[in-house]
Structure 1
């Protein structure tokens, strides 16, 4: 189990108590039922909805159902159809455990669908954003991310996708000859669909940006390294995923096969036929849940090199990259722990946790992050764990990428990010924790609605991001200038709701980069 995944498990378990259920219809539009535009795709016509500002097409199959003999097989082409497909409702989420607040209930194996949101106004040939959701490669779906604001303000066609999760998408076993990073291969199939069909929805199929957060961001690390992803996208936006240095980016094939053998043993199976005969609930029971079980594995045809090795050596698909993380990634997890116990962290707790987390380095870390420098012991612990587990890997990734491709780097540091729906706030200030920035880009039932300041930052972020999507540049009229991150001249943009405070931050100093590198962790 990697440290990042360990650190998130307790938080998500606590959040599950308070968070509301997310449904795949979280952003259903109130539309005139007579307004059902039909678009022809290369598989057949689809009928969507028109709200007056966007047209949405949901639940479009981009591959055949991976069921029966197709379980643990590469994605196959969807069977074509002739009558208009009802694309007014989202498809089913992929099978997943339901023990976390980011889980989507009601999953099925027949889930390889995508959703398209396209502005009704403006010219055709709009850039295309393909959103790859996070969830530790085990949870989530595309339909939960309502893309109307991103599409209209960003003047872009937004595609959100499902891909196989957990044991269905990232299982490896010596007897499963074709089960090579199937979740990534699903994403590749979706990107091929976008290249073939984007123009029918007003998109420019020669200007496709892949965008993802956490597990979705690590997926993009994989696509930068995957030879068969070459030519499927033109730009990449990565949130909260250190492609270089983070064990969460991938595991070895040997690790994955050992996990697969353990999984088969829990199924009481000695051959593939037995494994395929099990129903999805039995598969879920035998598979690991939480945040540590599944991720891409390298040493295969799909992913010959780890993302870290590929990026550092320059053997990548060369596209411009927008990359960054949140200033306070670990604070949400610590909030979940506090709400679960009902007791704020004390200074004694802080010292105990530091020793548990950092072992022989604990004294040095506590000297670098003294409680007296922070508003609370939780803030001090959160800063140390954020910098160790996220910020250092982000900076390493940006430095490595910048040797080969244009890079823009960000640190989302708003002190008051949207909080989780139905969940009390903890005793300490969260800032912007893991995945909280998503509330600025999408409408998702997991988060509270944006207030005025948050709406202003949402506008700025979408304006910056859409500028990159349109032109590979970050400089949007009316917003502070944003320079490229150069390996020899790093530049990181600090992003907050006070637009006058947006600008360059000394990221390495702010996140104690030299200290962490000196520990050789």
Structure 2
């Protein structure tokens, strides 16, 4: 179901839910819940694939459902606790016997938030992944494309197990892996004493390196599940898309994947430097009582996880260590990146989610007015010297309220989620990869909304809000059932995504042609048939990018 937003919600929530797609702490499973009987070694009807799989580290027993297999809660690295806290991950060690892989593991440590109902846990033993495959595989087969999903959640929330990968696996004939990685300060906090102990890698890169360790596990083991280790696509949404961009620029990720899909986070976005983030980490150390300790690093490793999470002001990737030595945009522009085919895109109305959350309820109510005087005064304040020109581009009558106009502007320009920022990334990638970049714009105005604001739709229509495309790839993630038209769009998107994973090109039978990116007019619009359907759109014109580029 949609998540209602309390009218009292204030500014502080913006930082907490940016990119968040963790809707509940429970695993969302849209497929049948009943396992199909089998003997665990290829039993069951026909050539059903085995639920007992031998990996490099040991044997795993999974579950066979209606049309697919799942192997959940697979450890890919040793527990990052004690002396391992804040350090690079340690590869999982071999084990004896058969490990149970029939239930997912608890997410990485994160705080609860009432708005998104995020699952609160202080568990740090969380470096686990989940594998979903079609059920009817020959046991000797190992040629399916592999898709490794990195969840979003502002780098502070999320759980790989929340994403039901059965549709991608079955309809796309693919092996899908969803992963957990360290979040918040445990995954992204830099601090000078921690950096000194980590050598060239510095600190603040644990989450990035966790993702790489999961990809190394895939390289070693995915053939046992039917997947091809030489045909791996890394993909993610929001904070997960930023992870994809960071992995494209990371020298230590070279050779770990063959294609990339980044959904709703521009690869031109910039992150803080190691020096800046070490200063933030020092503030955290002070807050938890470690700044004056004889051994600050040891004190931080012993501090309660909850205390660290509550002291953390937020942050993301850190630029400066050996795993991310320069900004992703800089690395791509200079040709110092992991050159692979890329799908990159965003949603038409990304910031209808975040614009209200950046304001108090009193401010929101005032801006929900259709009063031209409020509109004019707001534009004069927000866009001094350009208010009249902005008003011509974003007429109040067309949008219904000043608040919706502000959301439209923010969706077009000004953030890592905005359309014009994505166009910049498309152009940058295309300059390095002339025939291997495919851009999209998700545009279904009635897509399920992550957060349902209690406002009159005539005054605030959420449109194609941030994260709205996710239920089209992962059924049941949030929102109710898709309509027939939306289900048809879902089928097309799944085919595009899995065609790309298989071949590096989203085109194939039964889907409209998708042009490789050359100009913003080549962006593939993804919409229901009655509202424009699927085909090329000029997103730079729609988002007024030329207008915003002039000052």
TM-score calculated relative to the size of structure 2: 0.85
> Which residue is 1:3 aligned to?
none
Contact 2:285 2:300 in 1 (8 A): yes
Structure 1 residue corresponding to 2:34, chosen from 31, 34, 46: 31
The structure whose Rg is larger is: 2
Structure 2 residue corresponding to 1:152, chosen from 170, 173, 176: 170
Distance 1:44 1:350 in 2: 64
Deviations 1:136-178 (A, max 9, x none): 1111110111111111111111100000011000111111122
**Aligned partner of residue 260 in structure 1, secondary structure:** helix
Structure 1 residue corresponding to 2:426, chosen from 390, 398, 413: 398
Pair 299,353 (structure 1): closer, same or farther in 2 beyond 3 Å: farther
Q: CA RMSD in A?
A: 2.7
> Which residue is 2:299 aligned to?
274
2:130 corresponds to 1:115: yes
Return 75-84 or 300-309, whichever deviates more: 75-84
**Aligned partner of residue 91 in structure 2, secondary structure:** coil
Q: Which runs of 5+ in 2 are unaligned?
A: 1-9, 41-50
Which runs of structure 2 are paired with 1:13-28 in the superposition (5 Å)? 22-27=24-29
Count of residues in correspondence between the two structures: 503
Structure 2 residue corresponding to 1:372, chosen from 390, 397, 414: 397
Which runs of structure 2 are paired with 1:253-292 in the superposition (5 Å)? 253-270=274-291, 271-288=296-313
Structure 1 residue corresponding to 2:55, chosen from 36, 41, 50: 41
Pair 40,122 (structure 1): closer, same or farther in 2 beyond 3 Å: closer
> Which residue is 1:4 aligned to?
none
> Which residue is 2:334 aligned to?
313
Contact 2:448 2:471 in 1 (8 A): yes
Pair 350,240 (structure 1): closer, same or farther in 2 beyond 3 Å: farther
Deviations 1:256-303 (A, max 9, x none): 111111111111213111111111111112112xxxx11111121111
**Aligned partner of residue 345 in structure 2, secondary structure:** strand
> Which residue is 2:156 aligned to?
138
**Aligned partner of residue 199 in structure 1, secondary structure:** helix
**Aligned partner of residue 210 in structure 1, secondary structure:** strand
Distance 1:471 1:20 in 2: 30
**Aligned partner of residue 176 in structure 1, secondary structure:** helix
Which runs of structure 2 are paired with 1:181-260 in the superposition (5 Å)? 181-244=205-268, 246-247=269-270, 250-260=271-281
> Which residue is 2:324 aligned to?
303
TM-score calculated relative to the size of structure 1: 0.90
Q: Which runs of 5+ in 1 are unaligned?
A: 1-6
Pair 13,439 (structure 1): closer, same or farther in 2 beyond 3 Å: same
Deviation at 1:495, TM superposition (A): 0.8
Contact 2:35 2:66 in 1 (8 A): no
Pair 486,420 (structure 1): closer, same or farther in 2 beyond 3 Å: closer
> Which residue is 2:483 aligned to?
451
Contact 2:67 2:135 in 1 (8 A): yes
Pair 410,182 (structure 1): closer, same or farther in 2 beyond 3 Å: same
Pair 21,64 (structure 1): closer, same or farther in 2 beyond 3 Å: same
Contact 1:421 1:446 in 2 (8 A): no
